[in-house]
Structure 1
Amino acid sequence: MNPLLIAALAFGCLFGAAVAYLIWQLVPATPALGPALARLDPDRRPEAHPGRKVTGALTALVAPDPADLAVLGKTRGQFAMSVAASALVGLLIAPLLAISLARLGAHVTFAVPAVAGLLLAAAMALIAVRDLKTKAVKARRRYRKGVKAYINQVASAVVSGYGPVEALERAASVGTGEVFDRIRATLNTSRHQQEEPWDQLRTLGATLRVPALGDLGDNMQAAGANGADVYDTLRDAAASLRDQIRFDELAAAKKGSTALDALGAALLMVGIGIAVYPFLLSMQIR
């Protein structure tokens, strides 16, 4: 049998095995993880179909999620400016490359950089939208951690004998970070407007899509209206948030591990190609 044919068949088998391994790594290993996390975290949205993701991203260009903007502290104008700047960068990349190639003597028609520029502009705009959603998810994770710490502080103030309003304000005054700053500003607003603080906390939780803040407002309202002992309820809420944070970190670690495995499979394919190519070339020369 021809040695070149044998080498080609061996390379094809190795390449096919590497492709199969790559596909296997890209397939989620635990399909039941998503529903389990959705049950533990009510504000987690289910994974959308790829076609719906594209449609959602195009819709977000015109109408971004107000909760995502609120949790990041951005306005619609700032978001529109970031998307426009990203699209402008993508639009200019292709013409600049075409000009550089033309200076080197290459012939590039006008249609190629024009079409490539439009495609890159759309891609960069979608990347900006995706970046907003990714940052919003990370911000909500930080808020969960901050709210968990705040609930623990409120529970400590309650068990020390402070009333509901005093417990909320005292707990907010001892914390640091963006979450505590936002809560302090909300409580100050409720004091100046002579409104109940739990109403403002519920509004803040709905605005940021952080349900734990609304639950805290409900618990403290019950304590203020009925004089109920909410210490155990607050501790249970903090424990539930701790479980959500643990599952979030587990899911993020698993996603990162899957990405590393896929990258390893891709590098394996490249390594096989680099190792086999000189052998095939030498066989062809002979």
Structure 2
Amino acid sequence: MISPWAVLAGAAVAGGVALLAAELRPAPPDLGSALDRLHRAPVRERSGARPVRTVWYDRLGDRLTASPGARIPYRELSLIGRTPARFMVQKLMFALIGLLLPAYLGAMAAVMDVGLPVILPVLAGPVLAAVLWLVPDAVARGEAKEARIEYLHAIASYLELVALERAADCGPADSLIRAAAVGRGAVFRRISEAIERAATDRLPPWDGLEALATELDLTPLQDVADIMRISGTDGAAVYDTLRARAKSLRAELLAEDLARANADSERMVAPGSALTMLMTVLIAFPALYQMLHSG
């Protein structure tokens, strides 16, 4: 008869694995929050209004970011729109899972009368915690790589829109503002926010784009700022320059896509060859067996 403690232990392990898989899987976008941002009316802050309280894990993450030796990939987190506090909380959660999982498995083995050395969970816990502590860094780098490609595609479209606004005889500053207002994606929203911050600081919009390009390390966005700065100060005609930069950026993105496709095709050669050899052996083996044992 199966012990109920073993059943509970198995259910707890399955729940922990499900929670870990849900944490690693990219979360779907919150449509309610997105619609609120799109149609949000401006609200003025009142002098007597209470400050918004942050949740406890954000406060914990803020303390962890100030701890000595904390290495935070600010640029990658800015690309994927994640705060350093949430990133540090994720790292702490993964480390705790790695630290407690071997002890839990050892306790489950003891309940099931399975002989397991006591020293094994003690040694495996810190090692697994150190390994899982690095998992959010790898996840953030992978998500930032995908987000960077998304940003570059959006910037190519933004270059075209700015060029069209300039062709419609809009001013340099108005061209940047109107082109950013056309898009509804996250990238265009970041560009609009950067331009609005520059306007709040009484700076031209290309200074806001330059600050955003420096924050995200996006050279094409820096090129947009430089081109429009020249147009704003010297009155230069930049329509052809903007179209040429958009064309070159799309060519770079296409070359990267082709390189990734070729790399994926090369990685598929070995499995395909192994499958072909296996099928050949399966087809030829009966005939060879019959020939060798026919006498």
Q: Using the alignment, how far apart are the partners of 2:273 and 2:130 within structure 1?
A: 30
Q: CA deviation at 1:208?
A: 0.6
- Alpha-carbon offset, residue 269 of structure 1: 10
User: Of 186, 193, 197, which residue of structure 2 is paired with 1:189?
Assistant: 197
Counterparts in 2 of 1:80 and 1:267: CA distance versus 1, 3 Å: farther
Amino acid at match of 1:143: Y
TM-score by length of 1: 0.68
Relative to structure 1, the CA distance from residue 97 to residue 258 in structure 2 (aligned partners, 3 Å threshold; closer, same or farther) is farther
Q: Does 1:248 align with 2:233?
A: no
Residues 1:129 and 1:250: Cα distance change in structure 2 (over 3 Å): same
Structure 1 residue runs without a partner (length 5+): 1-60, 273-286
What are the equivalent positions in structure 2 for 1:201-212 lying under 5 Å apart? 201-212=209-220
The alpha-carbon deviation at position 248 of structure 1 amounts to 2.5
Tell me the CA shift for residue 94 of structure 1: 1.6
Aligned-pair Cα RMSD in Å: 2.7
User: Would you say 1:173 and 2:218 are equivalent positions?
Assistant: no
2:247 corresponds to which letter in structure 1? A
**Amino acid across the alignment from 2:164:** S
Q: State the alpha-carbon separation in 2 of the partners of residues 166 and 102 from structure 1.
A: 71
Instruction: Compare 148-157 and 183-192 and name the one that shifted more.
Output: 183-192
Task: Indicate the larger mover: 154-163 or 123-132.
Answer: 123-132
Match for residue 226 of structure 1 among 234, 239, 243: 234
- 1:237 and 2:248 aligned: no
The alpha-carbon distance between structure 1 residues 252 and 87, as it changes in their structure 2 partners (threshold 3 A), is: farther
Shift of 1:251: 3.1
Residue deviations 1:228-256, cap 9 Å, x none? 11111111110121022112222333343
Aligned residues: 215
Distance in 2, matches of 1:88 and 1:166, equals 51
Q: Is 1:73 aligned to 2:73, yes or no?
A: no
The alpha carbon displacement at 1:72 in A equals 1.6
- In the superposition, the TM-score normalised over structure 2's length comes to 0.66
Compared with structure 1, are the counterparts of its residues 130 and 202 closer, same or farther at alpha carbon in structure 2 (3 Å cutoff)? Answer: same
Once the two structures are TM-superposed, the CA of residue 187 in structure 1 deviates from its matched residue by 1.2
1:129 equivalent in alignment to 2:140? no
- Counterpart of 2:164 in structure 1 is 156
* 1:142 equivalent in structure 2: 150
Q: Distance in 2 between matches of 1:90 and 1:185?
A: 39
Residues 1:250 and 1:200: Cα distance change in structure 2 (over 3 Å): same
Match of 1:275 in 2: none
> Which residue identity is paired with 2:133?
A
Cα deviation for residue 114 of structure 1 reads 1.7
The alignment partner of 2:170 has SS state of: coil
Higher helix share: 1
Q: Does 1:108 align with 2:116?
A: yes
Distance 2:222 2:95 in 1: 38
User: SS of the residue aligned with 2:114?
Assistant: coil
Matching residue within 185, 197, 222 for 1:214: 222
Structure with more contact order per residue of length (Cα contacts < 8 Å, sep ≥ 6): 1
SS at match of 1:182: helix
- Residue 107 of structure 1: SS of its match in structure 2? coil
Describe the shift of the 1:236–1:66 C-alpha distance in structure 2 as closer, same or farther (beyond 3 A): same
Deviation at 1:97, TM superposition (A): 1.9
Give the unaligned 5+ runs of structure 2: 1-68, 281-295
Separation in 1 of the partners of 2:247 and 2:181?
22
Q: Which residue matches 1:19?
A: none
Query: Which whole-Å CA distance do the structure 2 matches of 1:255 and 1:90 have between them?
Result: 34
Report Cα offsets for 1:121-143 as digits up to 9, x if no partner: 12212222111111111111110
